[in-house]
Copies of this chain bind each other. A is one copy, B any other.
Amino acid sequence: MSVDPRQRRAARHAQPPASPAQQTHRKPPITVARITDAALEIVASEGYDALTMRRVAGVLNTGPASLYAHVVNKADIDELIIGRLCAQLVLPEPDPATWREQILDVCAQIRDQYLRYPGISRAALAMAPTNLDVLSVNERMLAIILAGGIEPQTAAWAIDALLLYVSAYALEISLVALRQAHHDDDWVFGRDELIRRFAALPADQFPQTRRYAAELTSGTGHERFDFTLSLIVDNLTRRRRSGKSRSQEAAANQQIRDGENG
């Protein structure tokens, strides 16, 4: 019935475990799960740029054409690995008392998963928001923020902002890490080299950059990450609905859209 892998993908969710351990034969069959495993293995060890149809097929001891019976596209493989990655997250039950820590924890988990598979966030950014696994993450994040008493519209946009920033942050970190690993030493600069370069800029054109080179290059750990996420989440609490002062909230929303050029 399902020759077309598109129909396969449509029916991929909700699969019974089928028969257990029947591949006593020499060559195990190619499955979507094995393709996903191979792809993630490649990305984890060599980065997203090395994720190639031929490389995946090579891990599975076959040719690239064999994959297209199980997978529509390379974009389909991207969707598979992002889905697997989302499924590995541990999503807490929404708790109104600790919703802030909960949402920050989920974001940190996503970041760490992205960093475990360098460059994979590029696939996450390019993926359509149709996938069930990423929708599950969205659902849980929405539930957590709603439990914090934030307005639905604010919560929805906040989730978008958080996920977008997390992806971009992980992508940037991964790219410099991959550049370092590939060129091995130079052509990419460490923090000291970067400060030296900033100090060597023309003084009349880059006064602030020269003066604050240390601040510009700091944030080696995840300080920048924590900074931005706290910025977003802290400001969310100002817009939470409270039974008393609706006027306060109206003022806050007015403040939102007084920015430029609507």
Using a CB–CB cutoff of 8 Å, the interface residues on chain A facing chain B are 101, 104-105, 108, 122, 125-126, 128-130, 135-136, 138-139, 142-143, 146, 152-158, 160-161, 164-165, 167-169, 171-172, 175-176, 179, 188-189, 194, 197, 201, 205-209, 212, 215-216, 218-219, 221, 223-224, 226-232, 234-236, 238, 248, 251-252, 255-262
Does B256 lie within 8 Å of A135, measured CB to CB? Answer: no
Does B234 lie within 8 Å of A126, measured CB to CB? Answer: no
Residues of B within 8 A of A161 (CB): 165, 224, 227-228, 231
Residues of B within 8 A of A259 (CB): 101, 104, 226, 229-230, 238, 248, 251-252, 255
**10 closest cross-chain pairs (CB), A and B:** A251-B259, A168-B168, A161-B228, A156-B215, A235-B235, A164-B168, A152-B215, A142-B208, A152-B212, A156-B216
- In Å, the complex CA distance between A256 and B155 comes to 21
Given A160-B224, A231-B235, A138-B252 contact (CB < 8 Å): no
Given A172-B125, A224-B157, A234-B255 contact (CB < 8 Å): yes
Does A143 lie within 8 Å of B208, measured CB to CB? Answer: yes
Q: Which residue of B lies closest to A167 (CB)?
A: B168
Residues of B within 8 A of A201 (CB): 135
Does B212 lie within 8 Å of A142, measured CB to CB? Answer: yes
Does B130 lie within 8 Å of A261, measured CB to CB? Answer: no
Residues of B within 8 A of A129 (CB): 194
Q: Which residue of B lies closest to A252 (CB)?
A: B259
SS of A interface (majority)? helix
CB distance from A200 to the nearest CB of B (A): 12
- In Å, the complex CA distance between A216 and B223 comes to 29
Residues of B within 8 A of A209 (CB): 135, 138-139, 142
CB distance from A27 to the nearest CB of B (A): 35
Does A230 lie within 8 Å of B212, measured CB to CB? Answer: no
Which listed residue (B197, B215, B234, B236) contacts A130, Cβ 8 A? Answer: B197
Does B226 lie within 8 Å of A257, measured CB to CB? Answer: yes
Residues of B within 8 A of A146 (CB): 208
Given A135-B206, A156-B218, A157-B228, output 16 extra A-B contacts at Cβ < 8 Å: A101-B259, A101-B260, A108-B260, A130-B197, A139-B206, A143-B208, A152-B212, A152-B215, A164-B168, A164-B172, A167-B168, A168-B168, A226-B259, A229-B259, A232-B235, A234-B238
Residues of B within 8 A of A216 (CB): 138, 142, 156
Residues of B within 8 A of A135 (CB): 201, 206, 209
